[in-house]
Amino acid sequence: MSKQPNYIAHLPDADGYIDYPQPEHDIWSELYARQRVNLPGRACPEYLDGLDKLSLPVDRIPQLAHIDNVLQQTTGWKTSAVPALISFGDFFQLLANKSFPVATFIRRREEFEYLQEPDIFHEVFGHCPLLTNPSFAHFSHLYGRLGLAASREERVFLARLYWFTVEFGVLRSSSNQLRIYGGGILSSPGETLFVMSEEPEIRPFDLVDVMRTPYRIDIMQPIYYAIESISDLGAIAEMDIMAAVKEAQQLGLFKPTFPAKAG
């Protein structure tokens, strides 16, 4: 990736331990406390169950070994400490090996509500709880394997699938209840409230439509795609995803529903 990161990740010592400064622990603590209030009644039950299993510390940034112990016991996954930005190839390779990349830095206070770059709060608090769920873990593993074998052009379409599921996915049950499972929402105090408002459009999940939908990383999402349950991710993993990529390539992208980025 050519983009320069706005943050520098902390490096673990020989034992895998990272010594975070106290102000960064304070940011974690404030984010955690706020989301624990925001998420009941908004996050999906499978996420909340995973959060309980992880037993994340409230007052400090967790060490990755703590996360790994739980993930290994539940779905056979683990984490991998990475810099702020990694290549698509490295990202897919890690997922294909059931290793979830975690950037070892935390956001600054001025980006408390929403952060473009994935920080440790986003990765650990937003994503890792659902990695204890077999359907979510299976989907993530298969996605990594598909991405590893895909061409550069195909990866662009696969990226939209990841964006509208793992990052910004929601559930809409048969009783019309809306719940969040995407880590990009769950780790963002601002977007957690925004997605439940009347402002965004919630569309039913369609594999080809998802891959044809443009998005921007620096705004609240105007469109979200809803599956009915987390188990649907297991069903999606069994679809011919690469055939859907080819169909989306042939049909082309939908017109963006957001303004072009200035500059």
* Domain spans of the chain, in order of start: 22-251
The pLDDT of 171-196, averaged and rounded, is: 93
The pLDDT of 3-12, averaged and rounded, is: 80
- DSSP for 122-163, written as a single string: IIIIIIGGGGGSHHHHHHHHHHHHHHHHS-HHHHHHHHHHHI
**Catalytic, out of 187, 188, 191, 229:** 187
Pairwise pLDDT comparison (263 vs 261), residue with the higher score = 261
99 among known catalytic residues: no
Pairwise CA distance, residues 100 & 94, whole Å: 6
**Catalytic, out of 10, 46, 99, 122:** 122
The pLDDT of 129-144, averaged and rounded, is: 98
Mind listing the pLDDT tens digit for each residue in 215-254?
999 999 999 999 999 999 999 999 999 999 999 999 999 9
Is the confidence at residue 7, as pLDDT, over 90? no
Pairwise pLDDT comparison (239 vs 109), residue with the higher score = 239
The answer to the question of whether 127 is labelled as a binding residue is yes
Write down the pLDDT at residue 174.
76
Is the confidence at residue 1, as pLDDT, over 70? no
122 among known catalytic residues: yes
Q: Among 3.40.50.150, 3.30.1330.10, 1.10.800.10, 3.30.70.1400, what is the CATH number of 22-251?
A: 1.10.800.10
Is the confidence at residue 29, as pLDDT, over 70? yes
Pairwise CA distance, residues 6 & 237, whole Å: 34
Pairwise CA distance, residues 122 & 7, whole Å: 14
Write down the pLDDT at residue 113.
83
Which amino acid is located at 180 in the chain? I
The answer to the question of whether 191 is labelled as a binding residue is no
Name the DSSP letter for residue 232. Answer: H
Query: What band does 21 get if pLDDT is binned at 50, 70 and 90?
Result: very high
Write down the pLDDT at residue 96.
98
**Catalytic, out of 99, 127, 140, 141:** 127
Write down the pLDDT at residue 152.
96
The answer to the question of whether 25 is labelled as a binding residue is no
Mind listing the pLDDT tens digit for each residue in 192-213?
999 999 999 999 999 999 999 9
The pLDDT of 61-88, averaged and rounded, is: 94
187 among known catalytic residues: yes
Is the confidence at residue 2, as pLDDT, over 50? no
Write down the pLDDT at residue 126.
97
Is the confidence at residue 117, as pLDDT, over 90? no
The per-residue pLDDT of the chain, averaged, comes to 94
Write down the pLDDT at residue 263.
59
Write down the pLDDT at residue 105.
95
Pairwise CA distance, residues 22 & 36, whole Å: 21
127 among known catalytic residues: yes
